[in-house]
Amino acid sequence: MRDYVKAILTIIAVFVAHTILGKISKEIPIALNLFTVIVIYFAMLKGEISGAFTGAVCGLIQDSFSFGVFGVAGLATTLTGYLAGVISSKIYVLSFFRNFLFISILTIFQLVIWKCMHFFVSSEPFFSGSIVILFQPFFNALAGSLFFPVFRKFFRPISADDQ
C-alpha cells in the first residue's frame, strides 16, 4: 500500500514540476519529459505491471497537457513502461552508462510509437511543438541517470520476499 502512495505522490510531484517548468519556458517540458523518467524508474523498480500502470496514468496526464489526439501519449507511455519493466528484469541496467543508454533507447522508442500512432489515428500534421524534442532522449537519460540513485533512497527495490 505504501508503494502506491509513494507512486501517487511522485506523480503529483512530477505534475507540479512539469507545470512549473512549463511556466518558466515552454521548451523545457518538451526537452525533458519527467513523466517518462518516472515511468521508467517505477518499471525498473517494481516490474512491468507497475511500469505499465504508471505509464498509463502518466501518459493520460501528459495527454491532458497536449492539444493532440487524447490517448496517444497514454498508449505510448504504457508500452514504454511495460517494455522497461520486462527489459530491466532481464538485463542489469543500474550502472550509470547502462542506465543512460537504456533510458535513451526507451525514450526514442516512445517518441517513435507516439509519432506512428498519431500518424495512423489523426489526419492532422504531427506537431511536436519544437525541434527541441530531438534532445529529449539525451535530457531524459541524463536526468534519470543522475536522479535514480537519489530515488533509490526513498523506494525499496523489489525483492524475492515481496513476490
135-161 pLDDT, tens digit each: 999 999 999 998 888 777 766 655 444
Contact 33, 137 (CB under 8 A): no
The three cell numbers locating residue 77: 507511455
Q: Which fold has domain 2-151?
A: Arp2/3 complex 21 kDa subunit ARPC3 (1.10.1760)
Contact 85, 46 (CB under 8 A): yes
How does DSSP classify residue 67?
S
pLDDT band at 29 (very low <50, low <70, confident <90, very high): confident
Q: CA nearest 35: which of 9, 54, 53?
A: 54
For residue 72, pLDDT beyond 50: yes
Q: CA nearest 40: which of 70, 76, 69?
A: 76
Which residues lie below 8 Å from residue 20, measured CB to CB, with a gap of 6+?
Answer: none
